[in-house]
Structure 1
Amino acid sequence: MKIYISTRKIPGLQNLTLTERMAILEAASKNMPIPQKTILNILKLLVIVPVFVLLLKVSENWWALAWAVLILLLYPLVVKPLQYSMSVQYLPKQINKDNE
């Protein structure tokens, strides 16, 4: 599986506007089978759960709040490329034909 950091790098979507690319990727992610959606959601949880654990530790250590904020800022950098990469397989057939 190739990792796409930006929607501009996805073959077949380069010439579209950002809103068009996002709409197409949203539709593609809805076509994902349930096991892949589950894996993606578990990966999201693995990124989010440490934030809540760190927030619970704020009463003991104020640096935990800084770490929680850092993780929240890095969340889109970790999750979005995975979501894009998993959704590419389910792009509409017309876009996939353009790639071949």
Structure 2
Amino acid sequence: MKFYFSTRNIPGLEDKSLLERMTLLNEAAKAMTIPEKTIFNVLKLIVLVPVFVLILRVVEDWTSLLWAALVLLLYPLIVKPIQHSLCAKYIKKES
């Protein structure tokens, strides 16, 4: 699976405007199969659960709040390439 860090790199979306790319990605996300959606949601949970664990640890060590904020800021950098990669095969390429 190839990872796409930008929607401009996805085949079929190179020459589209941002609004068109987002619309096509949204439609492609709706076309994903149930197992793909499930895997994607589990991956999102794997990224988010440590944030809540770190927030619960604030009572013991206040710096865990900083780590939770860092993980939350990195969330889009981890999740978006996976989402783009899963949706890329559902985007119709124009000839």
TM-score (norm 1): 0.92
Deviation at 1:11, TM superposition (A): 1.2
Deviations 1:6-32 (A, max 9, x none): 001111101111111011011001000
- 2:89 matched residue in structure 1: 89
User: 2:40: which partner in 1?
Assistant: 40
4+ residue segments displaced more than 3 Å = none
Q: Within 2, Cα distance between the matches of 1:19 and 1:43?
A: 26
Residue aligned with 1:53, SS: helix
- CA distance in 2 between counterparts of 1:14 and 1:82 reads 18
Q: Unmatched 5+ residue regions in structure 2?
A: none
State the distance in 2 between where 1:9 and 1:87 align. 13
Shift in Å, 1:68: 0.2
* Larger helix proportion of the pair: 1
Cross-structure match for 1:74: 74
Which residue in 2 is equivalent to 1:16?
A: 16
> How many matched pairs?
95
The alignment-based identity, stated in percent, is 57
Cα distance per residue 1:21-65 (max 9 Å; x no partner): 011011001000000000000000000000000000001101100
Amino acid of the residue matched to residue 82 of structure 2?
L
